[in-house]
Amino acid sequence: MIKTEAAPSNSGLFKLWYHRMASPVWFYRISGKLLPWLWALFAVLLVTGLYGGLVTAPADYQQGDSFRIIYVHVPAAWLSMFVYMVMAVSGAIALIWRIKLAEMVLVSCAPIGASFTFIALVTGSLWGKPMWGTWWVWDARMTSELILLFLYLGVIGLYSAIEDKRMASRAVAILALVGIVNIPIIHYSVEWWNTLHQGATVTKFDKPSIHIDMLIPLLLMAGAFKVFFAISLLLRTRNELLERELPRKWVKQLVEENDG
Amino acid sequence: MQETNAFTTLLKRDFMVAFRHRNEIFNPLLFFSLVTLLFPLGIGPSPTLLQTIAPGILWVAALLAALLAADNLFRTDYEDGTLEQLVLSPQPLPLMVTAKVLAHWLVSAVPLLLLAPVLAVSFGLDAHAIGVAELTLLLGTPVLSFVGAIGVALTVSLKRSGMLLALLVLPLYVPVLIFGSNAIDTAAAGLPVSGQLYLLAALLVLAVTLAPVAIAAALRMSVSQ
Amino acid sequence: MLLEVVGLHCTRGYRALFSELAFTLEAGQLLLVEGHNGSGKTTLLKMLAGLREADDGQVLWDKQPIQAWGAEYRQQFVWLGHSNGIKDDLTALENLHMMQALGGEQAGFPCRDAKSCVSTSTVLERMGLAGNGHRFPRHFSAGMKRRLALSRLLLSSARLWILDEPQAALDRAGIQMFESMLSEHLQRGGSAIMTSHHEVGLRGPHIQRLVLAA
């Protein structure tokens, strides 16, 4: 009549359990080994990119030296979209295959993406001052970027509002997927709105005739930013992982190892 | 067969509940007209200026009214436990959710459609532009309801969700705002607007097909807490 | 074997509510889930209903994980949670109609006799709510509301009942009525899982107890 909860687990169950447990531990170890290499790669790309961009690249014949802000602005703007993509893809993985690691990647992406978007907006506005004589114009790219920032803030807000973090990551995954369907539509509509209201505006990249000496540092910087994104994503995911797996054995072992 | 039965019963139920709270139906309507009233007061009564900004005002007010009304879409169902029963019923949840959003749209947005011409006249829009305004509202407000429902479904379990809901939903409303107000603008200038209307119709098709899946997933998440 | 739970695990915050939980439920059996407040009783029921995902482990219905059954599994059980799941703005009868429409046709468990396939008004009568069919639950007492919520058990022919504190707010007569409904259901080969702070007046080998001690 009385049945208690602790039924002995058979070996099949143990395997299942082990398989599930293995993936976070594996991720933690591998990412720990990967990080120093990424830091090194980042340093190389950053130094060469900055040197190329700030020293060797010729000044723009129209904008003078102020164009050099593109070495921060453009990589940040590219990444702001890319991070959202990563976020939505891991959201889909988290929802479909219920992989916990994907959930953690997803929630780690949002603050990074928001920061890149913010940097793109600030540098864009700093660049706008000498170019247009004003801090802000309602140009299509900047407006889209601003809306993207709000989309990121929505993701962050939703995640922090829901107490149960597993539920919160599911909510955020759904929102990220809704966002990724909407971003092209928003982008297109804003672009369309812009051409209607301002006629042909001077967009920053309407002429692809960028000089090769300017382009190479730009690509180097883009690479540096991407590696930096990878680094911060790994760091954040590792943190999230430790926090969520706090009661598990391997985390305790890790703490003991580091203490001793 | 039983899906259709469940769909219509749910639609009827939500109508009945709304009808038994009919004083609340007027709230979004009042809000809509109040917001549009604030603009002339804030900007000044110059007829040419008002005529230029009328499309934008109409659509911004419609957006805010839709946002305000959406908050109640799943709230009471969540509180009295009928949402839980809906999620656990064997009926397909996206279909059931569609019934609820449809009922919500009929109750909250259709009165808006009836009031909009009156407000448009007060802003000095001509008959053609008003006709186009009605069409854009007819095509655009269901999109607002469906997209808003995603945000509501994600936040229904939270106690104070008003600001968060606005943050989640308003950026997604941008395309509807752009195409809708621009169509009225273009119509007022005497130019053809079929392009904008087609785009709005495309958004509507997209919202009706994709949003229910997202809403259903979000509700399952909210109810599980 | 109707329902089988294997290695179920649940954490709240950093605390494990239960782990390696395992039990089976056969046709005609009742499982009483016991434990103090916060021991995870409601969470367990939610996992069994598929409302909440298990942190680890599986719930099997007819040897298949419930996720694989999908809507078919939801046809097999009736759920009654903490909240009654009735609308205050619909009359008692309208509420019952809504329950029926959402429930659809229950599969695999045909009504045994006319008594279990009764119309909505006879259900009200059976629940001791005769004459209240056209009144709004808003004006009901808490006990009457609970009775109305319990009507869904009579409307449905599902094999499994999952009930969270079904006797809450019921008076003595109400509890008795519920227990007779329950034993009838078990005799017909149905099964039930419920949490309860009340002692259930049923006895027999078909009653299992599961104690959650976090």
Segment B20-51, tens digit of pLDDT: 988 888 888 999 999 999 999 998 889 899 99
Can you read off the two tokens belonging to residue C35? 């434990």
Per residue in B129-149, pLDDT (tens digit) is 999 999 999 999 999 999 999
Return mean pLDDT, chain C.
85
Confidence class for position C114, pLDDT limits 50, 70, 90 = very low
Shortest alpha-carbon distance between residue B215 and chain A (Å)? 9
Q: Identify whether C45 is part of a domain.
A: yes
Residue C10 located in a structural domain = no
Query: Can you give the C-alpha Rg of chain C in angstroms?
Result: 17
**Does residue B219 carry a pLDDT above 50?**
yes
- pLDDT bin (cut points 50, 70, 90) of residue A69 is confident
Nearest CA in chain C to B76: C87
pLDDT at res. C178: 93
How high is the pLDDT of residue C105?
Answer: 52
Q: What is the ipTM of this complex?
A: 0.92
Domain assignment present for residue C68? The answer is: no
Domain residues for the domain of C37 are: 26-51+73-205
Residue that wins the pLDDT comparison between C54 and B157: B157
Q: How confident is the model at residue C207 (pLDDT cuts 50, 70, 90)?
A: confident
pLDDT at A117 over 60: yes
Do the Cβ atoms of C87 and B80 come within 8 Å? yes
How many domains does chain B divide into?
1
Q: Six-digit token pair at A95?
A: 């929802």
For chain A, the average pLDDT equals 84
Q: Where are the alpha helices (DSSP H) in A52-99?
A: 70-97
Whether the per-residue pLDDT at A138 is higher than 90: the answer is no
Contacts of C166 in chain B (CB under 8 A): none
Q: What is the pLDDT of residue A7?
A: 40
Q: Show the tokens assigned to A175.
A: 């929102």
Amino acid identity for residue A260 in this structure:
G
Distance from C-alpha of C145 to C-alpha of A236, rounded to nearest angstrom? 49
Among A174, A177, A193, most B C-beta atoms within 10 A, so best to mutate, is A174
State the count of interchain CB pairs (< 8 A) between B and C: 82
Residue B187 touches chain A, beta carbons under 8 Å:
no
Per-residue pLDDT, C57: 87
- Cα–Cα distance, A88 to B105 (Å, whole number): 29
Determine, yes or no, domain membership for C149.
Answer: yes
Q: For chain A, list the domains and their CATH numbers.
A: 33-238 (1.20.120)
Cα radius of gyration rounded to whole Å, chain B: 18
pLDDT of residue B142: 97
Contacts 24+ apart (CB under 8 A), A208-214: A211/A57, A211/A58, A213/A52, A213/A56, A213/A57, A213/A58, A214/A53, A214/A57, A214/A58, A214/A60, A214/A67
Using a CB–CB cutoff of 8 Å, tell me whether A138 touches chain B.
no
Q: Residue A209's pLDDT band (boundaries 50, 70, 90)?
A: low
The yes-or-no verdict on residue A244 having pLDDT over 90 is no
Q: Is the pLDDT of residue A229 over 90?
A: yes
Which pLDDT does position A22 carry in this prediction?
54
- At which residue do the structure tokens 């700030």 appear? A54
pLDDT number for residue A200: 42
pLDDT tier at B162 (50, 70, 90 boundaries)? confident
In a 3-state reduction of DSSP, which class is residue B114? Answer: helix
Nearest to A70 by CA among A224, A230, A232, A222: A222
CATH number where C166 lies: 3.40.50.300
Task: Look up residue C177 and give its amino acid.
Answer: M
> What pLDDT does A260 receive?
58
Using a CB-CB cut-off of 8 Å, the residues of chain B touching A189 are: 174-175, 178-179, 199
Of chain A, the percentage scoring pLDDT greater than 70 comes to: 86
State how far the Cα of C5 lies from the Cα of A202, in Å rounded to an integer: 65
Residue of B nearest to C73 (CA): B90
| Residues of C whose CB is below 8 A from A7 | 20-23
Neighbours of chain A (3+ CB pairs under 8 A): B, C
Write b or e for each residue in B100-130: b if 16 or more Cβ atoms lie within 10 A of its Cβ, otherwise e: bbbbbbbbbbebbeebbbebbeebebeeebb
Domain assignment of residue B135, given as a range: 2-223
C30-34 and C207-211: which strand pairing? parallel
pLDDT in tens, A70-104: 899 999 999 999 999 999 999 999 998 888 889 99
The structure tokens 């950026």 sit at B171
At A14 the pLDDT is 53
pLDDT at A255 over 90: no
Q: State mean pLDDT over B169-188.
A: 94
Q: Are B195 and B100 in contact (CB under 8 A)?
A: no
Residue A98 vs residues A90, A91, A108, C28, C50: alpha-carbon distances, Å:
10, 10, 17, 34, 15
Chain C residues in contact with A96 (beta carbon < 8 A)? none
- Beta bridge partner(s), residue C143: none
Q: Provide the pLDDT confidence category of residue A2 given band limits of 50, 70 and 90.
A: very low
For residue B84, which residues of chain C lie inside 8 Å, CB to CB?
51, 79, 81, 83, 85
The amino acid present at B22, given as its one-letter code, is R
Top-confidence residue, A159 or A30: A159
> Do the Cβ atoms of A247 and C11 come within 8 Å?
yes
